Structure 1
Amino acid sequence: MMDWNTAFTAINASVLPAWALLIFLPRSKVTGAIVHSALYPALLGGVYLAGMVAAFAFGQSSGGVDFTSIEGVRAIFAHPNGVIIGWTHYLVFDLFVGAWIGRDAIRHRVPHLAVIPCLILAFMLGPVGLLLYVLLRFMLRKKLMLQE
């Protein structure tokens, strides 16, 4: 069985190829097939689901877990499995946002060199990268477009 640190490292490393494709090969068919498909959400969703099953069916969680209080949410992250579940959640959604930024930038002809910092920030700080991209697109298009 894999230890928690190894699992954390493996999950982190699993998204690096997708981010590299978004940054270095944004228009590639490989990027489309891998990053703009359901591949990553499905694979990491499976990891997430396995962690949830382990938490609730096999006791790999702390006591007092719930989603209705800060203490209950803190209890989720008190167990290594909860950290893995939470981190996987972040990785899936940050990559989903990064993939959307990549597609949207191509659709709206936002220069890719200007998009790269947004992608890096989306990878590292999720919502900050999205905010930067929305502001970039606003500055280039001179109108706020929040729809597809």
Structure 2
Amino acid sequence: MDWNAIFGAMNLLAMLSWAALILGPRKPLLLSSLLYLGVGMMCFVYAAGLIAIVTGLVDPVGGEAQASFSTIEGVRAIFASDGGITIGWTHYLAFDLFVGIWVARDADAKNFSRFLQAPILLAIFFAGPLGLLLWLLIREGRARAQGRWQ
């Protein structure tokens, strides 16, 4: 399996999706496309790759370590291969884009300007949880002012 090609394709898909989310019109068709074609495609690649690696169908983990999610050694074993790195990275890309879409929709609903949204969305793209924390702190005041938490 050509993990470099998959890694590159997932990066390209993520970059194009983020550019469309930040710069494009927030029309339902665009947001749905980003969700199903962007996030959905990355989730499919992640799921297929994870199953293939954990079951040993591709990129088997060598040495004494067994791939598992219950120990540091087990997780390290998964990431000890190009396939493991690729699916791990795809996992980050998919979840960060999903969070970015939610934040963009939430920010639009709360009437935050796109100018303010852009750096928050970039923070989510580059540092997922840090950008999400930033958004949660910023949105709180507006949510309270509107008298609801959504």
Q: TM class by shorter-chain length? A: 0.7 to 0.9
RMSD: 2.3
Highest RCO, 1 vs 2 (Cα 8 Å, sep ≥ 6): 2
The one-letter code sitting in structure 2 at the alignment partner of 1:89 is H
Q: 1:108: which partner in 2?
A: 110
Distance 1:10 1:64 in 2: 28
Aligned to 1:60: 59
Q: What is the count of residue pairs matched by the alignment? A: 146
Measured in 1, the distance between the counterparts of 2:93 and 2:66 equals 25
For structure 1, list consecutive stretches of 5 or more residues without a partner in the other structure: none
| Secondary structure of 2:6's aligned partner | helix
What is the Cα deviation at residue 25 of structure 1? 1.7
Shift of 1:5: 2.5
CA shift for structure 1 position 124: 0.6
Query: What do residues 30-87 of structure 1 show as CA deviations (whole Å, max 9, x unaligned)?
Result: 422312x422232112211221232114142314111111111111111111111111
Q: What pairs up with 1:1-148 in 2 under 5 angstroms?
A: 2=2, 4-35=3-34, 37-55=35-53, 56-62=55-61, 63-141=65-143, 147-148=149-150
Q: Distance in 1 between matches of 2:81 and 2:127?
A: 23
Matched to 1:33, the amino acid is S
What amino acid is the match of 2:49?
Answer: G
TM-score in terms of structure 1 length: 0.86
- Separation (CA, whole Å) in 2 of partners of 1:88 and 1:146: 34
